[in-house]
Chains A and B, each alone.
Chain A
C-alpha cells in the first residue's frame, strides 16, 4: 500500500478518539479497514490522521439486551457470523458479506459508517428497527437506522462522532436476509432483509428493507403494507415481490442496469419473505 502521508494514532479510549476526530475534520476513524484501506491504496482518500479504534475492546461485543440485542460497533462480521443467540438474521447476513478475510477484519460499525449503498448491514439494521448509538463531543446520541443513512457514503454522523453500538430493541421471531450478487464476494445487485412478527397465522408486523437498489438503503414500505395484517400464505410472495420492484428507485451502473436491479429487488424480497415465513 502506498497511500498519501497521514499521521497514525492508536486511540486508547473512546474519548481520546472522539477528541481527535472532533478537532480535525480531515481525520478518519479506522476500525477493520475493509473500506478505508482500499480507498487509501487507490489514493482516493487522503486523511490527515488515521485514528485507529480497532483495539478498543469495550466496543467489541454482542450480547442480549432484554428482548433485543446490543452489538458493539467493533463486532466483526465473523463474530456475528458465529452468533448463536436471538436475531439469527445477523449470522445469516454476516455469512453473505465478502469473504472470510473481509469478515475477519470488517466490523458492523465500520460498514454502517461507510454507508456503501450496496452494503449488506444497512438493510438488515433497517429491517430490525435498530438504533445507532454514536458518541461525539457532546455525548451519546441515538439515531434510528431510518434516519441514519442519508445518501451514498453519507450518514447522520456529525464531525467527531463515532458509532459505539447498534442496538436492536426487539429480535423478530422470523427474519431473513437474501442477497443477489454475481459472485460470492461481490456487492449486492439487490439485497432484502425481512423481519416478521406473526400472530395466529397473520402477519402482525413486518419490516422489509433493501440495499443495492438506490442511493441509500430503503424500507420497502409499500411491500410491507401489501402484506401487513394478511394471512400467511403463498400468495403474499408474489405481491411483496411486485410491490418491492415497483417502489425501489435503482440506478444503472457497471454492475447492473436499473431495470435489472428493480427486478432483482422483487426476487430478493420474495425470497427473504419466503425464508422468514418458512413458506
Chain B
C-alpha cells in the first residue's frame, strides 16, 4: 500500500503524549554548572567598566567572564552595547539560584548614548550611529531593477505614493533558547535548542578552533522556533567555550523575559514606494525601497529586505520595477527570519497595492488580480527568480471558487441587517521555498528494516513522518519498517537543517534518492547471490524462481558471502520551488470598541504533491494563525530610548485557541509538481504568507462597513484603538 498522500498520524507524537519528551532543560549531566548573562538595561551605551569582583566571590559562583576575558567572550564589541538586553558579562555558577543572585552583583558602569529606534529616522543625516565604523546606519543597499520604471510611471493613468510597513513580532517559540555543553577531553558535546545542528557545529568549531570531527551537536526535542533558532547566537558559542575552559558541563536556559530581549525579531520591513497603474486596473510600475529594521547587528536584515524586494512582483505581469533592498541598523535586537521571512511582507505589500488599485478603479479585487496575473509558469520573474510551475490565473479562479469568497462577501453584506459587522479579504500569493543541500543516509538492517538519518532538523513539523512515508513507498515496504532519525551530527555528517519550508522537499528528496541508491547496491548483491538479473518488489529480490529478501542479503553481507554497501548517502542540492494559492479571511468587528476577531480562514494552495494531508493541514492552521495574529494581535513597542515596552506575554499577545478562527483548507486537486523527486513545494510558510495580506484586507472591509467610507490600512498590526479612531474619529 502506498503511503504518500495519506493522512497518517505523526510518528513523532508518542513520547510527547506520554510525557517522555526531552528538551534541553530536561538534560542533567554530572557536575553540570549553570550559565547566565548580565544584560544591558540601555539600548545604546558605552561600557566603561565591568566590575565582577563581588559576584566572583559569592558562594556557588565558579567563573565570571567579562569583555576582558577575550574571545569568544568579546562582549560589547567596540566598547559599547547596541540594544537593550545585549550581554556584557557571563556568570557560571553551581546552581541557578546562586547564578541569578550573582548576576545582580556584577556592576557595569554605563555611559548611556542617544538611541536610534526608528529605521527611517536612522537613515537621516545626523542620526546616532549604531556602528560608528560604518559612518552610516545603512548597513547594505542593493538595487533590483528591470524595464524602464520612469517611462512606465510617466505613462500610467494613475500614480500612488505611500509607505507600507510590517511591525516587528516576537517569534514566541514555546520553548525559549537553551544549550548544554560538555567536553570529555575528546568530544565537545552540545545539546542545543536549534533548527540547525550542523550549522551550530561548524560555527562552534570555527569559533573555538577545534576540529569539526571533535564537535557533536545534538538537537533534543525542540519546543518550536519559527525561524528564531536559525541564528547561531553568541550565547551558544560562549556556553561551549565555558564548558571547555571550566572542564565541567555548562547549561544556559533563557528565561522568557530574556528570550524577549535576545531572540531575533521577525517582520520589521517597510516598503516606501511609488506605483503607476492604468484606469483598467493594470499595474505598470513600482519604484521604491524595502527597508529592513535590521537591529543592532545585520545578521539577516539585508537578506529579508532582499527576499521581499525580489518577491515583490509576485506572480503579476508588471516588469518595470526599481526596488532597492536596504538594511538599516537600529538600537534593537537583531532582525531574523520568522515564518515566511520576507515573503509574507512581499505579499502583503503587493496585495495591498492590488487592493488599492481595486479601490481606486472601483474594480472587484479578484478582477484586479485576474487582469494582472501571469497566466502560468514556468515564468522568469523580472527581478531574477525562476518560478518553476503553476497555473496562476486558473489557480486564482479555482481558489476563489474553492474558498467560496463571493459567498463570504454576500454573507458580510447580509450580516449588516443583523447588526453584525463582518469583513472579508482575499489574497493571491506566490512564494519561494527550498534552497541549499540536504543529506540523507539510508541503512539496511539484518531483518530488512531500514534506518534513515537526515540532516534536516524538524522541531514539531512532523517531517519524519513524511520522510518515512516517502521512503516506505520508494522501498515498497510498510512504514513500520522505516525509522527516521535526525538532530544528531553523529548520525549524518552534514545538512542545512529545518527552515524555509524545505525539509520535506530537500530532506525527503535526499532520502528518496539515498533509498534508491541503496536498493541498487542491494540489487547487485542479490544478483550475485541469486546468480542472475534480479527484480525488486516489496522487500524481495527475485531472479527466475529464486528469491532473497533484503534481510537475507544483509545477513549474507555480514557473513562474508557477498560484498555490498549496506548504507547509502545522498547529498541533494535543492533548487527553489514556488507554491502559490489563495487565502481568504473573514473577521468580525465590534464597531464600538474596534476589536476584531478572526472567524474563518479558507485557503486553496498548490503546494505540489501533498505527502500527508494531516501534516499539511496542521501547517495551514498554525501558519494562518501567525499571519492573522501579525495583523490583529502581536505588537512590539519600544519607547524612544529603545526600551522594550512589551517585554513579556503580559503585554505582548499571541493568540490562544479561543482567538483562533475556523480553518477550512483546500489543496489543489491536480497539483503542479516541483521538479524534485518528492514533487513537493513546501507548506510551512505558505499560509502565513497568504493570511496576513488577506487579514488586513478583511479588516479594511469591516471598517469600511462600520464607518460607511473607505479606509486604507498601511501597517501591521492594526490595533483596536487605531480601528476605533478610524470609525469614530479622534487624534
Name the residue in B255, B653, B721, B731 with the highest tally of chain A Cβ atoms < 10 Å from its Cβ. Answer: B721
Q: Which chain B positions have C-beta within 8 A of A11? A: none
Given A4-B101, A180-B593, A183-B655, residue A254 in contact with residue B255 (CB < 8 A): no
Given A42-B257, A263-B724, residue A183 in contact with residue B653 (CB < 8 A): yes
* Chain B proximity of A164: nearest CB distance (Å): 29
Question: At the interface, yes or no: B651 with Cβ under 8 Å from chain A?
Answer: yes
Partner of A185, one of B97, B100, B656: B656
Given A254-B646, A263-B728, A267-B592, residue A184 in contact with residue B721 (CB < 8 A): no
Question: At the interface, yes or no: A59 with Cβ under 8 Å from chain B?
Answer: no
Q: Which chain B positions have C-beta within 8 A of A189? A: 720
Interface string of A163-206 (1 = CB under 8 A from B): 00000000000000000101111110100000000000000000
Interface string of A80-104 (1 = CB under 8 A from B): 0000000000000000000100000
* Chain A proximity of B458: nearest CB distance (Å): 29
Whether B645 and A254, one on each chain, are in contact in the complex, defined by CB atoms closer than 8 angstroms, is yes
| Complex interface residues of chain A between 233 and 279 (CB less than 8 A to chain B) | 254-257, 259-260, 263-264, 267
Question: At the interface, yes or no: B63 with Cβ under 8 Å from chain A?
Answer: no
| Complex interface residues of chain A between 1 and 53 (CB less than 8 A to chain B) | 2, 4-5, 38, 41-43
Whether B721 and A256, one on each chain, are in contact in the complex, defined by CB atoms closer than 8 angstroms, is yes
Question: At the interface, yes or no: B633 with Cβ under 8 Å from chain A?
Answer: yes
Partner of A259, one of B96, B719, B730: B730
Given A183-B656, A257-B721, residue A267 in contact with residue B731 (CB < 8 A): no
Q: Which chain A positions have C-beta within 8 A of B637? A: 254
Q: Which chain A positions have C-beta within 8 A of B255? A: 2, 41
Alpha-carbon distance A254/B648, docked complex (angstroms): 12
Given A2-B97, A2-B100, A254-B651, residue A184 in contact with residue B658 (CB < 8 A): yes
* Chain A proximity of B589: nearest CB distance (Å): 13
| Complex interface residues of chain B between 712 and 731 (CB less than 8 A to chain A) | 719-721, 724, 728, 730-731
Given A180-B595, A254-B646, residue A5 in contact with residue B101 (CB < 8 A): yes
Q: Which chain B positions have C-beta within 8 A of A43? A: 100, 104
Question: At the interface, yes or no: B659 with Cβ under 8 Å from chain A?
Answer: yes
Given A2-B255, A5-B97, residue A264 in contact with residue B651 (CB < 8 A): no
Q: Which chain B positions have C-beta within 8 A of A4? A: 100-101
| Complex interface residues of chain B between 589 and 607 (CB less than 8 A to chain A) | 592-593, 595
Q: Which chain B positions have C-beta within 8 A of A256? A: 721
Alpha-carbon distance A182/B728, docked complex (angstroms): 18
Partner of A182, one of B595, B645, B650, B656: B595
Interface string of B193-215 (1 = CB under 8 A from A): 00000000000000000000000
- Closest A residue to B592 by beta carbon equals A267
- Closest B residue to A5 by beta carbon equals B97
Whether B731 and A259, one on each chain, are in contact in the complex, defined by CB atoms closer than 8 angstroms, is yes
Whether B101 and A182, one on each chain, are in contact in the complex, defined by CB atoms closer than 8 angstroms, is no
Alpha-carbon distance A264/B100, docked complex (angstroms): 41
Q: Number of contact residues on B: which range applies?
A: 20 to 34
Alpha-carbon distance A254/B595, docked complex (angstroms): 16
Interface of A, secondary structure class, is loop
Alpha-carbon distance A27/B646, docked complex (angstroms): 30
* Chain A proximity of B608: nearest CB distance (Å): 36
Partner of A184, one of B104, B646, B656, B719: B656
Alpha-carbon distance A43/B97, docked complex (angstroms): 12
* Chain A proximity of B54: nearest CB distance (Å): 16
Alpha-carbon distance A257/B725, docked complex (angstroms): 12
Q: Which chain B positions have C-beta within 8 A of A263? A: 724, 728, 730
Interface size on A, residues (CB 8 A): 25
- Closest B residue to A38 by beta carbon equals B650
Alpha-carbon distance A268/B99, docked complex (angstroms): 47
Alpha-carbon distance A99/B657, docked complex (angstroms): 11
| Complex interface residues of chain A between 67 and 125 (CB less than 8 A to chain B) | 99
* Chain A proximity of B613: nearest CB distance (Å): 30
Name the residue in A180, A182, A186, A256 with the highest tally of chain B Cβ atoms < 10 Å from its Cβ. Answer: A182
Whether B646 and A183, one on each chain, are in contact in the complex, defined by CB atoms closer than 8 angstroms, is no
Interface string of B654-690 (1 = CB under 8 A from A): 0110110000000000000000000000000000000
Alpha-carbon distance A257/B594, docked complex (angstroms): 14
Q: Which chain B positions have C-beta within 8 A of A38? A: 650
Whether A99 and B595, one on each chain, are in contact in the complex, defined by CB atoms closer than 8 angstroms, is no
Q: Which chain A positions have C-beta within 8 A of B653? A: 182-183, 186
Alpha-carbon distance A183/B625, docked complex (angstroms): 14
* Chain A proximity of B596: nearest CB distance (Å): 10
Whether A183 and B96, one on each chain, are in contact in the complex, defined by CB atoms closer than 8 angstroms, is no
* Chain A proximity of B402: nearest CB distance (Å): 31
Whether A260 and B97, one on each chain, are in contact in the complex, defined by CB atoms closer than 8 angstroms, is no
Partner of A264, one of B593, B650, B655, B730: B593
Whether A255 and B659, one on each chain, are in contact in the complex, defined by CB atoms closer than 8 angstroms, is no
Alpha-carbon distance A187/B650, docked complex (angstroms): 9
Whether A260 and B659, one on each chain, are in contact in the complex, defined by CB atoms closer than 8 angstroms, is no
- Closest B residue to A253 by beta carbon equals B645
Alpha-carbon distance A263/B633, docked complex (angstroms): 20
Q: Which chain A positions have C-beta within 8 A of B592? A: 267
Alpha-carbon distance A95/B257, docked complex (angstroms): 28
Alpha-carbon distance A263/B101, docked complex (angstroms): 45
Given A5-B97, A43-B100, A255-B651, residue A260 in contact with residue B721 (CB < 8 A): yes
Q: Which chain A positions have C-beta within 8 A of B730? A: 259, 263
Whether A183 and B593, one on each chain, are in contact in the complex, defined by CB atoms closer than 8 angstroms, is no
Alpha-carbon distance A38/B255, docked complex (angstroms): 12
* Chain A proximity of B671: nearest CB distance (Å): 36
Q: Which chain B positions have C-beta within 8 A of A255? A: 651
Name the residue in A38, A254, A259 with the highest tally of chain B Cβ atoms < 10 Å from its Cβ. Answer: A254
Partner of B633, one of A41, A182, A260, A267: A182
Interface string of B614-648 (1 = CB under 8 A from A): 00000000000000000001000100000001101
Q: Which chain B positions have C-beta within 8 A of A185? A: 656
* Chain B proximity of A46: nearest CB distance (Å): 10
Q: Which chain B positions have C-beta within 8 A of A254? A: 637, 645-646, 651
Alpha-carbon distance A5/B98, docked complex (angstroms): 10
* Chain A proximity of B645: nearest CB distance (Å): 5
Whether A183 and B659, one on each chain, are in contact in the complex, defined by CB atoms closer than 8 angstroms, is yes
Q: Which chain A positions have C-beta within 8 A of B96? A: 2
Alpha-carbon distance A267/B593, docked complex (angstroms): 7
Whether B731 and A182, one on each chain, are in contact in the complex, defined by CB atoms closer than 8 angstroms, is no
| Complex interface residues of chain B between 691 and 728 (CB less than 8 A to chain A) | 719-721, 724, 728
Given A4-B101, A254-B637, 10 extra CB contacts under 8 A:
A2-B100, A4-B100, A5-B97, A43-B104, A182-B633, A182-B719, A184-B659, A254-B645, A257-B721, A263-B724
Residues of A within 8 A of B (CB): 2, 4-5, 38, 41-43, 99, 180, 182-187, 189, 254-257, 259-260, 263-264, 267
**Can you give 6 contacting A-B residue pairs, CB < 8 Å?**
A42-B257, A43-B100, A182-B653, A182-B720, A260-B721, A263-B728
Leading 5 A-B pairs by shortest Cβ distance: A260-B721, A254-B645, A2-B100, A184-B658, A183-B653
